[in-house]
Structure 1
C-alpha cells in the first residue's frame, strides 16, 4: 500500500514491496511531483513494472558490463572479442562513468560520452567498437528487466571513417628486404618470407605447427593464432581473428622448398641444443632456437632494424607484409575471389575495399595486356584505316 505526502519540493509517494527476484522486503519512495494524482500514477506504474518482472536491484554500470562479459560472452564469442570488450571497459567506459548506476544512464548522457571519445582523437571505427560493447550490454540488461529501455538507442556516432592507407613493400624492393633480413638472422628471414609468400597475419604464422603443413598438397592449414601477450601457457593459442580466418591456403613450390629446408635446419638445431632443452610439445614451425614462441617485441625490433638497413621506410609494419602478398597476387593477375579466400576475408567486398588503391594500376595493366593480346589476334587489322586504303573516308 502506498502512502502520499506533500512536501516543499512537491508530492512524494512511499511504498513497501517484496522484490520478486530476491524475495527481500524493500521500500521505494520518489518525490518532486506537482500534484498528488501524478504521484499516484507514478506509484501505480512502479507496481505495474514490478508485476511484469522488472528487477529493482541496481548496480553500477561498469559492474554490470563486467558481469555481462564474464557470464554471457566468455565461452560464447571468440577470445579476441572478449579482449576487445575488456579493453573497451577498462580503457574508456570505466574511467568515464566511474560508479554511475546502471539505471542512471540516460540517452543524452551517453551521447556526451560518445562525443567525448571523438574529442580524445579516436577514430569513428574505434568509437563504433566501444559503442558496441555498451550497446550490447544494455540490450541484455533490457532483456533481463534491469532497465526499461536501452539508452544507447538513437545515439549518433559522428565523424567520418578515415581512409586507410595500405602500406606494402614494392615488388622491386622485396629482394632487398629479404636479403637484408637474411643477413640480420635466419629466423627472422624465414618468418618474414613466410608472411610475404602466404599473407598470414603474424599471430597466425607464429602459431603454425608442422602438422599444419601439407608438403605433398602444398597447402597450409590456418586454424589458430598466437596470443603474444598471454600470461598463461594455457592461453597461448586462440581462435583466428574471425570464422573466415580459419582456412586452408595454397602455397608456391618456392615456400614449400623453404619450409623443407627449415625443417632440416630445425632438426639439426634440436640436436645441437639437446633434445631435453627443446620445446617439442609446441611443435612450432616459426619459433626461437629452443622451440618457444617468437616474442612480439623481437619481431617488431627486427622488422624496424631490417627496414632501416635496407633503406626502406620504417613506417612499414609487419602487417604490411600481408598487404605485400595481396598486392603481388593481384598484380600477378590472381582472381580477387582467390585472394579473398587466401587472406581469410569475410567477403570479396572487403578485399576489394582494402586494396582499391591499386585498382587504377591494375586497370592499366589489364588494358595493356588486352592491347598486347588483340595485336597478336588482329595483326595488320589494327593498322589505321588510312594506312590500309591510302585515303581518308569520303
Structure 2
C-alpha cells in the first residue's frame, strides 16, 4: 500500500509524493520501496500509485509515454529492470546515484526533452564537485537507463552517449607552492621513521620514492613484475577500486606511455628480494582459507591489497614521527622521485620515461619550477668541464 505526503519546492510550490512497497529483495530478505514525486494533487499521486502497483505485478515499465519525467523513468528502471538482474551492490549503487545525483539535478525534466548539451553541462558541473571516477559511475547509471529508454522507444537516440568527462586536473599546473615533495634529508628521516613503524609500509613507500610509481601501479605489482637479477620493475597495470562492484580490480595503466620497465638501485633490489622471500614464508603459515594468492608484492599479509585509508593513515603517522609537517600526500612521493632525479643530474627525458608521462611537455610543465636549478648546475658542470685556461 502506498503512503502519500506533501512537500515544498523552490520553483513549483507544493507538490505531492508517494512511497510504495516493492516487495522483498530476494538477495537480502529485506523489504524495499520506491518513491515518486512531482504530483500536483493527492488524487493525481494516488492514480500513479495504483498504476505502479499494477505494473510492479506484471513486470512492465509504468508510463512509457512521451511525457514521462526523468525522475519517474529512473526510479521505474532501477526497480523493474535492475533490482532482480544485477548484483545487490550494483543495484544499491544505481539507487544511490539516482537519489543523490540524477533526480536532484535532472529529475524534473522530461526524458524526451533532455539534450546532449544539457547533459554535458550536468557532467561539467559534477566534475567540479566530485572525482572523475565518481562522475564516471554516476554517468554509467544514466547512460544505461537512457539506453533502456531507446529500447522501449520512449526516445530515438540516447542523449548521454556522446559526452566527454573532463579531467578535473587538466588545467592545474604545478608550481613551487602546489607541488609537494620531500627533500633529500626529509627522505632519510621519513624512511627511518617508516622502518621503525612497520616493514610493510617501509618497503612500499621506499619503492614509491625510488621509482616514482603511482600508488595504484605499485599496489598492482605482482612478484613476476619484479626482475631482481636485471634490477627492473615491469609496469603494465594499475589497481583501482571499482565502486560498482565494491572490489579492487586490475586496470590498464593511465596511458600507453605508462607501460614501462624501470631500472632500480642495487639497494632497492636487495630489499625487495628479502621482502618477497619473507612474504612467501609468512603466507605459508596462513590457513588456506585465509590466503589470497594474487602474488601481490605489497599486501596486508593475507595476499589482499592495502586499503587506501590504511596507507593514508600510515603515511600521516610516519610523517608526524619523522617531524615532517608539510601538507604532503602519498602522491607527493612520486614528485619526490622526479625532483631528486632531476637534481641528481637526470635529464627531463629520462624522468619522463621513468614516470610514464605521455609527453616530455607534461613532465616539463609539472617540474618547470626547478628548471633554474638545473640550468645553474648545467652551466657549472660545463664550466668545470671546459676549465678554460686564463689568457694573459
> 1:223, CA displacement in angstroms?
2.0
- The 8 Å contact of residues 227 and 236 in structure 1, kept in 2 or not, is answered as yes
**1:288 alignment partner in structure 2:** 300
Q: TM-score, normalised by structure 2?
A: 0.61
Farther-moved stretch of structure 1 (353-362 vs 206-215):
353-362
- Summarize the Cα distance change of 1:221–1:178 in structure 2 as closer, same or farther, 3 Å threshold: same
Matched, 1:189 2:205: no
- The 8 Å contact of residues 105 and 122 in structure 2, kept in 1 or not, is answered as yes
Farther-moved stretch of structure 1 (346-355 vs 100-109):
100-109
Aligned mate of 2:183, from 170, 179, 183: 170
**1:18 alignment partner in structure 2:** none
Instruction: Measure, in 1, the Cα distance between the counterparts of 2:220 and 2:122.
Output: 38
Aligned mate of 1:379, from 368, 386, 389: 389
> 1:340, CA displacement in angstroms?
1.8
Aligned mate of 2:322, from 307, 310, 313: 310
Aligned mate of 2:107, from 98, 101, 106: 98
Q: TM-score, normalised by structure 1?
A: 0.61
Unaligned runs of 5+ in 2: 1-64, 78-93
**1:358 alignment partner in structure 2:** 370
Instruction: Measure, in 2, the Cα distance between the counterparts of 1:338 and 1:163.
Output: 20
- The 8 Å contact of residues 331 and 362 in structure 1, kept in 2 or not, is answered as yes
Instruction: Measure, in 2, the Cα distance between the counterparts of 1:92 and 1:365.
Output: 52
- Summarize the Cα distance change of 1:152–1:219 in structure 2 as closer, same or farther, 3 Å threshold: closer
RMSD over equivalenced CA pairs, Å? 4.6
Instruction: Measure, in 2, the Cα distance between the counterparts of 1:252 and 1:171.
Output: 16
Instruction: Measure, in 2, the Cα distance between the counterparts of 1:225 and 1:308.
Output: 28
Instruction: Measure, in 2, the Cα distance between the counterparts of 1:93 and 1:58.
Output: 18
- The 8 Å contact of residues 204 and 240 in structure 1, kept in 2 or not, is answered as no
Larger radius of gyration: 1
**1:223 alignment partner in structure 2:** 236
- Summarize the Cα distance change of 1:332–1:90 in structure 2 as closer, same or farther, 3 Å threshold: farther
Instruction: Measure, in 2, the Cα distance between the counterparts of 1:243 and 1:224.
Output: 10
Q: Residues 284-337 of structure 1, C-alpha deviation per residue, up to 9 Å, x if partnerless?
A: 111122222212111110000011111113521111111111112222222322
Matched, 1:253 2:266: yes
Aligned mate of 1:266, from 279, 293, 297: 279
- The 8 Å contact of residues 173 and 366 in structure 2, kept in 1 or not, is answered as no
Instruction: Measure, in 1, the Cα distance between the counterparts of 2:173 and 2:307.
Output: 31
Aligned mate of 2:380, from 344, 347, 368: 368
**1:243 alignment partner in structure 2:** 255
Unaligned runs of 5+ in 1: 1-55, 68-84, 382-387, 389-394
- Summarize the Cα distance change of 1:189–1:58 in structure 2 as closer, same or farther, 3 Å threshold: farther
- Summarize the Cα distance change of 1:334–1:91 in structure 2 as closer, same or farther, 3 Å threshold: farther
- The 8 Å contact of residues 228 and 295 in structure 1, kept in 2 or not, is answered as no
Instruction: Measure, in 2, the Cα distance between the counterparts of 1:147 and 1:201.
Output: 43
In the alignment of these two chains, the number of paired residues is 299
> 1:194, CA displacement in angstroms?
0.7
Instruction: Measure, in 2, the Cα distance between the counterparts of 1:210 and 1:307.
Output: 28
